[in-house]
Structure 1
Amino acid sequence: MPKNKKRESSNSSDSDEGPVDRNPPAEKKAKMGSRTDAKEPTWVLQGNKQVKIRQYKGKVYIDIREFYEKGGELLPGKKGISLTPDLWRKLLSLGEEINETLSSVC
């Protein structure tokens, strides 16, 4: 087997790459948990961790991502996940069970 085997790329919808907007508008820093943007609804979780509702290639995603600042702009990083509305609703429906399990381990 060759040492420099090329990685195969996947176009699967299960990819955690999600929508990445390389030129988003500059955003104001906001208090934790507050909505900050009308065009791309945004909520700050903590520091540069944000939840956004975004459109990418005509589809809507709930994007939970860590952002970084470069040149005065807040840009999306690789650390994060984008969920379809159906997956988001599924995650929310698991909330009570996850909280109960979390309570038993913490």
Structure 2
Amino acid sequence: MPKHKRSQGKLESSSSDSDEGPVDRNVPPEKKAKMGSRTDAKEPTWVLQGKKLVKIREFKGKVYIDIREFYEKNGELLPGKKGISLTPELWKKLLSLGDEINEAINKT
């Protein structure tokens, strides 16, 4: 459901249902990454769409594949609440289910 807010007497609509708080939708072009491109050498990162990213991250000494919606605060991208972190084993399991999932999608 679109959210509406009043700004200087105008009614503005936002289609974002994200829970990360205010998001600057006017990200400068140099900060925008191309879809599917790797963007970070320290934490390998790929952009799915907009601020939806896939990152390989380490947490408490373990490696995770983090698929998450990020938000910008003070010029820095921070992880939002929307997302999932998978162990490498679960990631491999998900990939092995790819053909079955694609078949199910095609049937709908």
Q: Structure 2-normalised TM-score?
A: 0.71
- Deviation track 1:8-34 (CA, whole Å, cap 9, x = no partner) reads xxxxxxxxxxxxxxxxxxxx4311100
Distance (whole Å) between structure 1 residues aligned to residue 35 and residue 76 of structure 2: 19
The residue that corresponds to 1:8 in the other structure is none
- Deviation track 1:12-61 (CA, whole Å, cap 9, x = no partner) reads xxxxxxxxxxxxxxxx4311100001110000000000000000000000
Correspondences of 1:14-33 after superposition (within 5 Å): 28-33=31-36
Secondary structure of the equivalent of 1:33?
A: coil
The residue that corresponds to 2:55 in the other structure is 52
The residue that corresponds to 2:46 in the other structure is 43
The residue that corresponds to 1:97 in the other structure is 100
The residue that corresponds to 1:82 in the other structure is 85
**Which amino acid counterpart does residue 41 of structure 1 have in structure 2?**
P
Unaligned runs of 5+ in 2: 1-30
Q: Structure 1-normalised TM-score?
A: 0.72
Q: Which has the higher strand share?
A: 2
Aligned residues, how many? 78
Identity %: 83
Q: RCO greater where, 1 or 2, for CA within 8 Å and sep 6 or more?
A: 1
- Which portions of structure 1, spanning 4 or more consecutive aligned residues, are displaced by more than 4 angstroms? none
Distance (whole Å) between structure 1 residues aligned to residue 75 and residue 42 of structure 2: 20
- Deviation track 1:61-102 (CA, whole Å, cap 9, x = no partner) reads 000000001111110000000000000000000000000000
1:63 aligns with 2:45: no
